[in-house]
Chains A and B, each alone.
Chain A
């Protein structure tokens, strides 16, 4: 038939191809273990690994999720190698890798976009189903299964019948069964006389094991899914504002715990009593899922603005409006004698701050020097700028991330519209080039310099081009120049920092260029 033609062709090919001995050796090695199952499992693990292999920093950003995805791919590859080099343990490894393949669907890009998980499932099942041709009890099966007394005696009887008292199970029967096996193959493809009832019994025994495995596996698959939701919920406790949501995410995830197959009917091979057990355990996991919820609300309410708002008497510090009053009000608490001893902190800001009238729109002036800014000031430009409620408030020294400082002009606008606003960063390495039409409410701008042609609003009469630079204006100079309307053409600035309440943008286009460094 076709198959025999195939084997004939294979035999002929075998005669002609070189290196017969190594090929034979490899073939023997290959046939004495679940080779193809191992290949499929390794391929599945490699597929799962190859899809998400993110740079390590990003994996750390994401945390447990990415790492567990990586780990599962690695486990599957290891399982495939175990099928090859420790075939005796294939049954356990196969169950383990099956569970891992299922978990990978949740943790790792749907299990390598489906392919990886399917390959690993197939490979695991192939390895699970693999066993040596004939002398089942003898070769490898004994150590890896619980065999009760009854079947053990049967095995012993079978061994006695076949070869007399066994000295060492494996070697003896391998020697005895080898030739017989070959003979069987040629002569009697039918039922083997040597194969008495016990292998069937053993088959049943094994399958009953498998029936126990099924619920265990289903539970194992459902539980990591739940654990994934509850564990990050705890991990994310440190994230303000997120915890309630994480807790909410954990709650619905408890639903599929024992009903992993929505709408599925009971397959014939699952006993009814086993199928019915399922709803009961589902009641128990939900309290545990609920147990993770209480810790969630513990984080402090979201602290959205600023790194460390230090409320209390201290904030005035640099550039705080009305320094005399703050220092005066803070002192009485420490005692009357303290008042004269408090000297204004030596530095530039107090005097400048004294000149500033309290500007309510400006977000917490005390905080502005607590943040660190990028040392390489981006250049910005706008074809046309139109501002309402525009105020120039002097200059301030802003600390930079590298320990230095940048002197910047302070502007505020109640509303600012910028046509074709462009920002280009000047950091070494990657550079951002972004263009957008902006409409911003309640904005503070800190710029090293500002230049352009000031125009009279609505009339479009260009005036002299002006250029203001922060370096020319001392920080102590009290300034408060307000313009109800301001508009400029061809505006250019060095923008250290922008803080805005609401930014509406349209026609955004951003590119990141520049030589990647490292």
Chain B
């Protein structure tokens, strides 16, 4: 015997909230995709690959650290922070193993026509390949606790640290465990694809 308090979702009523919300969502998405609005990103606990045709940055600091993965293991990484970064032709891919379904690849392409820019980008990388690059005002071998180029990027005492005034590199490929952008502007379109199987950037 159904009681009087039982009810159901009345979709007409729901639409009153849902439709404007979806319109706003569309507006936000357009604003972010066009770079009018800076979004914040952060991923971690999962190894992913990043490649970029060109990376430029001012104020770079890095030190050796460990990153925790979802598997609970601690992975040795280089924690690098960039005060201001811009990247062209960026590809990011992560492969996630979903129960039952199997392996699923998430791939995000961006920065094709205009570079993606970000401030206070911090990433944990455990492998890095690069083509030609120029770095200025390098200080390699500073104690990680005395790094002062990027606010917040200061390591424990007694660790190897590097910092530089500016950086410009081509054909960067990196495997990273976490990346956080304080603010990231996605310009020049964004292409997100989710596919079954393993489809990585490199």
The reply to whether chain A is a binding partner of chain B is yes
User: A105's contact among B28, B64, B124, B145, by CB below 8 Å, is which?
Assistant: B28
Partner of A432, one of B30, B41, B64: B64
A70 to nearest B CB, angstroms?
Answer: 9
How many whole Å from A97's CB to the nearest CB in chain B?
10
In the complex, identify which listed stretch (A285-293, A328-336, A374-382) lies at the interface while the others stay far away.
A374-382
User: What is the CB-to-nearest-CB distance from A144 to chain B, in angstroms, rounded to a whole number?
Assistant: 14
Chain A: how many interface residues by the 8 Å CB criterion? 136
A241 and B27 form a contact (CB under 8 A): no
| Residues of chain A within 8 A of B1, CB atoms compared | 178, 182
Judge if A2 is at the interface, Cβ distance under 8 Å: no
Quick one: which of B25, B26, B141 contacts A446, CB cutoff 8 A?
B141
Check if A374 sits within 8 Å of B141, measured CB to CB.
yes
| Nearest opposing residue in chain A for B167, CB measure | A503
Q: Contact between B145 and A401 (Cβ–Cβ < 8 Å)? A: yes
Q: Which residue in A66, A118, A373 is a CB contact (below 8 Å) of B40?
A: A66
Given A173-B4, A261-B23, residue A52 in contact with residue B44 (CB < 8 A): yes
Q: Is B5 engaged at the interface, CB distance under 8 Å to the other chain?
A: yes
- Measured CB to CB, the closest approach of chain A to B14, in angstroms, equals 3
Judging by beta carbons under 8 Å apart, are A430 and B66 in contact?
yes
A133 at interface (Cβ–Cβ under 8 A)?
yes
| A138–B3 alpha-carbon span in the complex (Å) | 13
Interface of B is mostly: strand
Q: Within 8 Å CB of B4, what residues of A?
A: 132-135, 138-139, 173-174, 177-178, 181
- Is B36 in the interface zone, CB < 8 Å from A? yes
B182 in contact with A506 (CB, 8 Å): no
Interface size class of B (residues with CB under 8 A): 35 or more
Given the complex of chains A and B, what is the CA–CA distance between A376 and B142 in angstroms? 11
In the complex formed, the residue of B with least CB distance to A221 is B24
Task: Kindly state whether residue B99 has any CB partner on chain A within 8 Å.
Answer: no
Contact B142 A371 (CB under 8 A): yes
Q: Please, how many angstroms separate the alpha-carbon atoms of A497 and B162 in the complex?
A: 9
Whether the Cβ atoms of B142 and A125 lie closer than 8 Å is: no
Q: A108-B40, A512-B126 are in contact. Are A497 and B158 (CB under 8 A)?
A: no
Contact A242 B14 (CB under 8 A): no
Task: Please list 16 pairs of residues, one from A and one from B, whose beta carbons are closer than 8 Å in the complex, sorted by A's number.
Answer: A32-B3, A52-B44, A58-B42, A69-B42, A102-B24, A105-B39, A121-B22, A133-B2, A206-B13, A269-B19, A400-B158, A430-B76, A505-B135, A506-B133, A508-B130, A512-B76
Task: Other than A269-B19, A371-B143, A504-B132, give 7 A-B pairs with Cβ distance below 8 A.
Answer: A59-B180, A60-B152, A105-B39, A129-B16, A181-B2, A242-B84, A511-B126
Chain B residues within 8 Å of A, Cβ to Cβ = 1-32, 34, 36-45, 58-59, 64-68, 73-79, 81, 83-84, 106, 119-120, 122, 124-146, 148, 151-153, 157-161, 164-165, 169, 178, 180-183, 185, 192
